[in-house]
Structure 1
Amino acid sequence: MEEEYKRKLTWFANQVVKKDVVLPSLRPPKPDDKFSVLIDSIDHLLTESFRQETLVLPELSAFNNKSIGVFTDYSGEGSGRYNVYSILICGMNMASGFHDRVAKVRTDFHLGDKEIAYKDLNMGQIRRSMPGFLEAADHLPGLLYTVAVEKGIKSVFGREPDTTRKIAGILESIGLGTRPPKTAEKMMRVAHLVAYFIALLGHGGQNVFWMTDHDEIGPSLEQHQLLMELCFGRVLPFYLKPETKFGVMGGAIPFTERSVEMNDRLSLPDLVAGVLGDYLTKRDILKPEDILVKDAVGDILLWLTRDGIALKKICTFLRPGANGEIERGTVTFAPTNPQDAVFIPLFI
């Protein structure tokens, strides 16, 4: 690599790395308040990584960025053992490097405005485009965080058998819609996940835009608006410092008039949610040497072994443990055959 190019990469990488990380970040507003085991676990794992000096988080106010984008996708409705929630939080005004590179990938592989989705990884064009698409994603300043929750955990908000039913009742009683207990639990998990990372990585005065895939938690415009109200109006204040105020806050499901750039960002959590859920399910029932992956899945797993120049990636899990407790951990992937990599010094 030419020294001048490496110097520029080093400068850019250090601009988009958060230098003032404060963890743990959870501080209950009232002494008796408790956080869900989902968010408590995420905060704990991030804190442990921070203490071990292995955590790198994005600085979403770099280059005077005024807006943050949140893109979420989920998997687990099928036969797998995990419900997976994946969130991309990124700088809305810092994405040109990503989109310029993806535009070239789309041209090279004749993708047009085709959505890049986990369910289509067997398609030849999508499969062949995956290395280029993932390399482009590494230039997007942000964090791609994915958590897999084993389906044996019925609720992350309590241990009582009727917890999900109570959650559905509470949501209905405060005017946030009538939903089945299972859907209400999912809605709350997603709202807390989004709120936590906005509070952790956002800055006062920034605008916030959240796009979630078409899903049971917000299938219609009316129900989607209730989801926004739950997250931004009810849950986010629980995690924010009292003095932090955001600008305009809103969201959407994928636009009827296709937005390729928005869908490309949404593709990242879609790909990782699908791959991680499938991989962990296989890991639980097969020997490591018996786990087979498709070409494009292998590309994604290899991509998850390292952070990008701008995009940081973290995968975690929750599963039932002994004595009714819940185990939590970080999923770390390592390449079987290490490839050449460029190491950029970060001055944190």
Structure 2
Amino acid sequence: MTQAISGNAIAHELRRRLAAEGHVSVAEFMELSLGAYYADRDPLGARGDFITAPEVSQMFGEMIGLWCVDLWTRMGQPTPFILAELGPGRGTLMADALRAARVAPDFLAAAQLHLVEINTTLIAAQKAALQGFTPQWHRSFDSLPSGPLLLIANEFWDALPIHQFVMTDAGWKERIVVAKEDGALAFGEAEPGPEHALLRPEHAGATLGEIAEISPAGLRLAAALGRRFKRMPGAALIIDYGPMQSGLGDSLQALKEHRYHDPLIEPGAADLTAHVDFAALAAAARETGAAAHGPTTQADFLQRLGIGLRAETLKAKSDATVCAEIDAALERLIGVDGMGSLFKVLALTAPGMPQPAGL
């Protein structure tokens, strides 16, 4: 089902491009829609469109904080170093991570906090959550300063635009977005653009109608991390949802008010995401000089870090109601029917660095 584009700024820009070019790629559609969606709204929580792991339980951020402390220690305790997060939401994950890091005062003293964020509303929330740590904000990864780096990216890559390709009787065609005569948006097909060259060997066996997805933006960022880690010490922890290996399938989806939503309806009013190709990210980072560790499931990663013991510690100080809440949060984070198997964890590091914990 599709409907006419609503009369907002993003719809105006879409109409302009469609009139001039006849169509836009799925990646262009995502970029336009998400640029409007993330400009100034708070999409998180019960009143938003989705909930991320840091909002489920403090234990998630605490485990990541301890992971950073452990790796920083085994890196030789570089001082100072850059502690960065891509898309830090309300600052909840980083606040929990820094609270857990109090076990290592030298880590906190050496850390220089940098956040990559474009959303003005979320920046205000981050300032409130992280007051006392004097974070610096950036609009892109490229403006982070030089130096040893520990970078966290939880549910960041899934919002980077993707190109989709459909196998037809005539070979691969690019999936595009067009406007019908009544103004409604619909998917169509066109000759593939240069991004077609990024398709992976795992896509070669596609049958009629199957879809392959490529995220040039995601690959460029992984490659940039690889180049950085070839020159200086550091690690990036990537947590997101998607398969262990590259494959086929249409993973483009929209969420609005915690319900699945037609991605072509109300562009800019719903969150658009796609599965992350972890194997492709790892390959892009390796090709430019980094080492890759994983991916593994979020369940295995958190359990190896000791989230079960942390839950028991919290429960020992809590009443029955809070204990039940802790158990429910733990199940959501590591359960097969929750985030435990859907979400994966990949670490990219400078070559020769120690094996990161949990991977």
- The TM-score normalised by the length of structure 2 is 0.26
Higher RCO (CA < 8 A, seq sep 6+): 1
- The TM-score normalised by the length of structure 1 is 0.27
Larger relative strand fraction: 2
Structure possessing the higher radius of gyration over alpha carbons: 2
